[in-house]
């Protein structure tokens, strides 16, 4: 099934990251970014709905912004001000709209990793 999904795993605590605010942007032809969707992760660290379903996915350049400092602060993690990681942005491209794109994020207060999942 074509579309775009994500999930967030908290490596510092060994859990799915519940309550992470996520914004999805698409780059316009003029070079600016247009907000496409706002969502928050559930108890499984996933979004309740796909970020883009098969009808909404378009080829182009996208960016996901994950608000990780706010998440860690809600958990009581003592972060410096400003935090080392505040908003993690992942810029990626969608070329083939007939396939599924999954962009997971693995986070800690001082590092992150991502990859193209399935």
| Residue ranges covered by each domain of the chain | 3-114
69 three-class SS: helix
The predicted-structure confidence for 18-40, as pLDDT tens digits, reads as follows 999 999 999 988 889 999 999 99
Query: May I ask the CATH class of domain 3-114?
Result: mainly beta
The predicted-structure confidence for 63-106, as pLDDT tens digits, reads as follows 999 999 999 999 999 999 999 999 999 999 999 999 999 999 99
Whole-number Å distance between alpha carbons of 12 and 108? 5
Phi, psi for 69 (deg, rounded to 5): -65, -45
**Distance of alpha carbon 19 from the chain centroid:** 12
Whole-number Å distance between alpha carbons of 99 and 32? 26
The predicted-structure confidence for 45-67, as pLDDT tens digits, reads as follows 999 999 999 999 999 999 999 99
Scored b (16 or more CB within 10 A) or e, 39-69 reads bebeeebbbeebbbeeeebeeeebbbbbbbb
Whole-number Å distance between alpha carbons of 55 and 12? 36
Question: pLDDT-based confidence at 1, cuts 50/70/90?
Answer: confident
Nearest to 83 by CA among 95, 75, 93, 92: 75
pTM: 0.96
Q: Which two tokens stand for residue 109?
A: 């207060």
């Amino acid at each position: 099934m074509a579309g775009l999904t994500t999930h967030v795993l908290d490596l510092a605590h060994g859990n799915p990251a519940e309550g992470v605010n996520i914004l999805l942007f698409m780059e316009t032809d003029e070079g600016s970014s247009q907000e496409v969707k706002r969502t928050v992760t559930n108890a499984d660290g996933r979004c309740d709905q796909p970020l883009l379903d098969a009808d909404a996915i378009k080829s182009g350049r996208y960016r996901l912004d994950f608000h990780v400092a706010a998440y860690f602060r809600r958990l009581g993690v003592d972060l410096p001000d400003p935090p080392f990681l505040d908003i993690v942005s992942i810029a990626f491209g969608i070329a083939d709209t007939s396939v599924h794109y999954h962009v997971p994020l693995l986070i800690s207060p001082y590092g992150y990793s991502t990859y193209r999942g399935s």
